Amino acid sequence: MLDKIIFGDNQFFGINHMSEEKAQMLSEKFSNLKDIVDIIDFAYDSGIKAFMLNSNERAKEICDYFRDNSARYSDLILYPSIPYPHKFANLVAEKGIFNALKDYLLAGLNMGNFFDILLKGGMAILKNDIFKGMELLVDKEMSLFAGLKIKVIFLQNIVTDLLLGLGIKNIFIEFAEYIKKKYKVEPGFITQNLPALKGFLLECGIKNPIICASINKIGYLVNPNLQAYERTLKEHDFRPIAMSIFASGAIEPTVAIKYVCKTLKIKSVVFGASKKQHILATKKLIENYCA
């Protein structure tokens, strides 16, 4: 069963889709781990136990903190999303796809010969078998979250949507199977193309898939359009999670949540907030409107 409320992480990493200025202010506000932890603790103590965390540069320090204070976070459940695409985008721009993958897999591993040998083998695999390469990448990203309780592992949206456009069914099938087999949790997919992705995943044979998508009343990052989303959500052959419900602040909170939870009857919502009073207010609204 998916958590009703999942606390998102975009605000911690200076991500705001509406304004570069707000993004910069967020980045400054959360430049110290202490300030991130302060917000996480507040959400956790107010009863939110599920957290979505992208495998970006700062995820490691947050996860280290959770591991170092495991007694404090005994009920914590993570919904990681992998990979962090911007670090790859720059690497790919500089070095081409293969060298970017190679350098990424090799980076930061100074743990002795064992890993060297493993990775030399890994390079040969990466060269010859793209699916095994995918598994190596998943493992590398997931090493950030080692030892923490995980419910769903998501494929991040830029990657999901790129692969959706490419129409490569095998990658989705292999990803889903590998997550289930190796990590014993459910695979999930984040997208900005909910109707197309849902149909595609069902065609891939991935039954009742977990799909996290921007869903909001003004149709921001909703593709191809809101009508298609509303139609798709009535089909009940997948498990939706709504994100971007406030469209980066463009929709008034009560209106936003009423639409997502009451009109669309979505049972699981991701939201991020940088202010404590917003966490409480949003949580209360979701609990009020979410059946």
Partner 1 sequence: MAPLRGGIIGLGRMGITHLSILKSHPDVRIVGICDNSKFVIRAMRATEKGSDIIICSSYEEMINKSSLDFVVIATPTKFHSEIINFAIKKNLHVFVEKPFVMYVEEGKKILGSLEGKSLVNQVGYVYRFNDIIAQVKNILTDEIIGSIKYFKVELNSNTIIRKQKLGWRGTPKFGGGCLLEFGSHCIDLAVYLVGVPTRVMGSAFQNVYSSHVEDIVFSTLVYDNNCYGNVFVNWSDSSYRRPTLNIVILGEKGKIIADSHCLKIFSSEPDEKHKLKKGWNTKYITDFAKGVRIYVRGNEFTTQLDYFINCIKNKAMENLSSFEEALKTDIIIEKIKNNRFDNVR
Binding site for partner 1 (CB under 8 A): 13-15, 17-21, 23, 27, 86, 89-90, 92-99, 127-131, 158, 161-168, 170-171, 192-193, 196, 218-226, 228, 247-248, 250
Closest separation in Å from C-beta 19 to partner 1 = 5
Q: How far is the CB of 287 from partner 1 (least distance, A)?
A: 26
Least distance from C-beta 259 to partner 1, angstroms? 14
Of the pair 10, 66, the CB lying nearest partner 1 is at: 10
Judged by DSSP in three states, 191 sits in strand
Query: How far apart, in Å, are the Cα atoms of 201 and each of 75, 137, 192, 204, 228?
Result: 31, 21, 14, 5, 17
Q: How many Å apart are CA 62 and CA 125, to the nearest integer?
A: 31
Please, which residue, 55 or 186, has the CB nearer to partner 1? 55
Among 47, 32, 50, which residue's Cα sits nearest to residue 154?
50
**Residue 46 or 223: which CB sits closer to partner 1?**
223
Comparison of 5 and 247: residue with beta carbon closer to partner 1: 247
Under 8 Å CB-to-CB from 166, ≥6 apart: which residues?
none
Q: How far is the CB of 137 from partner 1 (least distance, A)?
A: 13
Nearer to partner 1, 2 or 257 (CB): 257
For partner 1, the closer CB: 2 or 101: 101
Shortest distance, position 83 Cβ to partner 1, whole Å = 15
120: number of Cβ within 10 Å: 11
Residue 141's CB is within 10 A of a number of other CB atoms, namely 20
Nearest distance in Å: CB 170, partner 1: 7
25/89 Cα distance (integer angstroms): 24
DSSP code string of 42-100: HHHHTT--EEEEE-STTHHHHHHHHHHTTTTTTT-EEEEEE--HHHHHHHHHHHHHHHH
For partner 1, the closer of residues 250 and 290 by Cβ is 250
CB of 15 to partner 1, least distance (A): 7
Alpha helices in the chain (DSSP H): 20-29, 33-45, 59-68, 85-106, 113-128, 130-142, 157-166, 169-183, 194-203, 226-233, 253-257, 276-289
Q: How far is the CB of 286 from partner 1 (least distance, A)?
A: 21
CA distances from 240 to 7, 37, 253 (A): 16, 28, 20
Instruction: Give 133 or 209: the residue with its C-beta nearer to partner 1.
Output: 133
Site of tokens 């095998």: 170
